[in-house]
Structure 1
Amino acid sequence: MFTDLAHTATQASWDASKRHPFIQQLQAGTLPRETFRYYLIQDHYYLQEFGKLHDLAADQSDDPRVIDQLRAGAEHLRQGEIAVRQTFFDRLDITPEEVAQTPVAPTGYAYTSHLYRSLMTAGPAGAVAGLLPCYWLYAEIGQALAGTGSPVPIYQAWIDTYNAADYTDSMTEQLALANYVATPDNTDQLLAIFEKSSWYELQFWQMALDHEDWSLTPATRRS
């Protein structure tokens, strides 16, 4: 199955995500609150585009199963993950003004651009493959962290989001959809898309840890 091939192909980057300092610090409770706030704002931008991709891909499909599953995924996102994020914003006093004043980071911009490109170049199947690592990796991280949890309540709430039955059920449906849209003719293309999304997932943690912005690095500045 496509998902078996995809998981094997990206095992190294997924393992690196699970061992990333952002995840380790979140579990230990040592992740700076400002770093978590920054992550949430950047993830807010990402999730907005993530939801739009579901609807755009559904608009381009003529397969009822694909359309229904993508529409359901978009609605689940609005009612579930995005709604939970708003409670985090409220608890951390993240205001709409602060969000508006925080630019999308380069990695987030590149990741969402990759997702749109996946839809444009490989159609709805490409979008499904590009979106899948976010669903699947977060579920694996939630499961991995559930045993020990985090001593910080809001970090524990984040872990609980991705180990909850409604989230894992949605993820399982996306796995089935990916296997459904994959064919012998498009598997290589979908695997390449899936691998790039998995790479961006790993970079997203580092982006948050670095509070990445659009500043020029010393090496790129003109003297």
Structure 2
Amino acid sequence: MFTDQAHAATQKSWAASKHHPFIQQLQAGTLPLATFRYYLIQDHYYLQEFAKVHDLAADQSQQPQVIAQLRANAAQLRAGEMAVRQGFFQELAITDDDLAATPMAPSAYAYTSHLYRALMTAGSAGAIAGLLPCYWLYAEIGAMLAQVGSPVPIYQAWIDSYNADDYTDEMTDQLALANLVATPQNTPELLTIFKKSSWYELNFWQMALDHEDWSVN
């Protein structure tokens, strides 16, 4: 299956994500709240585009099952984004003014641009391959971190959100979708897209640690 090939092809980058200092500090409770706050703002920007790509991919698909799943996932993403804003954003006092003062960082911009490119060059199948690492890697990280937990309540809540049954169900649906749209002909291109998304996932953690911006030193 496509997902077996994709998982095997990204073991190194996924291991680097799972053991990235951002993840290690989050679990240990030593991650500065300012860094988590920055991460949430960038993730907010990312998820807005992530949901749009679902809708655009649905527009391009001719398969009713694919269209329905992408539309449902886009709706769930937007509902989840609202929950984050009502929960984490309120707890950390992230306001609309904070969002206005913090543009999308270069790495987040590049990642979302990659997703749009995947859609443009490889259609809905390319978009699905590009979207999948976010679902799948976060589920694995959530399961890994849940074994030990974090002493910081807001970090534990973040862990719980990615180890929840409903999130696991969404991820499983997305795996099935990727296998549905993959063919012997498009698999090489989809694997390349999947690997690039996995690379961007790894760099998203570093972007957050660095509080990356567009300044030139």
Instruction: Calculate the TM-score normalised by the size of structure 2.
Output: 0.98
Deviations 1:24-43 (A, max 9, x none): 00000000000000000000
Match of 1:17 in 2: 17
Give runs of aligned pairs for residues 145-156 of structure 1, distance below 5 A.
145-156=145-156
Q: Matches of 2:97 and 2:61 in 1, distance apart?
A: 37
Q: Matches of 1:37 and 1:216 in 2, distance apart?
A: 23
2:99 is equivalent to residue 84 of structure 1: no
Match of 2:160 in 1: 160
| Gaps in structure 2 of 5+ consecutive residues | none
Q: Matches of 1:100 and 1:169 in 2, distance apart?
A: 34
Deviations 1:158-196 (A, max 9, x none): 000000000000000000000000000000000000000
Match of 1:188 in 2: 188
Count residues in correspondence: 216
Match of 1:127 in 2: 127
Shift in Å, 1:147: 1.1
What secondary structure does 2:41 align onto? helix
1:180 aligned partner, one-letter code: L
What RMSD over aligned residues (CA atoms) do the two structures have, in Å? 0.6
Give runs of aligned pairs for residues 21-170 of structure 1, distance below 5 A.
21-80=21-80, 82-86=81-85, 87-170=87-170
Match of 1:200 in 2: 200
Q: Matches of 2:72 and 2:128 in 1, distance apart?
A: 13
What secondary structure does 2:175 align onto? helix
Q: Matches of 1:56 and 1:134 in 2, distance apart?
A: 18
Match of 1:221 in 2: none
Match of 1:220 in 2: none
Q: Matches of 1:213 and 1:92 in 2, distance apart?
A: 20
2:84 aligned partner, one-letter code: R
Shift in Å, 1:84: 3.0
Shift in Å, 1:83: 2.7
Deviations 1:196-220 (A, max 9, x none): 0000000000000000001113xxx
Deviations 1:92-126 (A, max 9, x none): 00001101110110000000000000000000000
What secondary structure does 2:67 align onto? helix
Give runs of aligned pairs for residues 165-176 of structure 1, distance below 5 A.
165-176=165-176
Deviations 1:59-112 (A, max 9, x none): 1111101100100110111223x1332110000000011011101100000000
What secondary structure does 2:62 align onto? coil
Instruction: Calculate the TM-score normalised by the size of structure 1.
Output: 0.96
Among all aligned residue pairs of Structure 1 and Structure 2, give the percentage whose two residues are the same amino acid: 75
1:83 aligned partner, one-letter code: M
1:155 aligned partner, one-letter code: Y
What secondary structure does 1:88 align onto? helix
| Gaps in structure 1 of 5+ consecutive residues | 218-223
What secondary structure does 2:202 align onto? helix
1:134 aligned partner, one-letter code: C
Q: Matches of 1:143 and 1:53 in 2, distance apart?
A: 26
Match of 2:5 in 1: 5
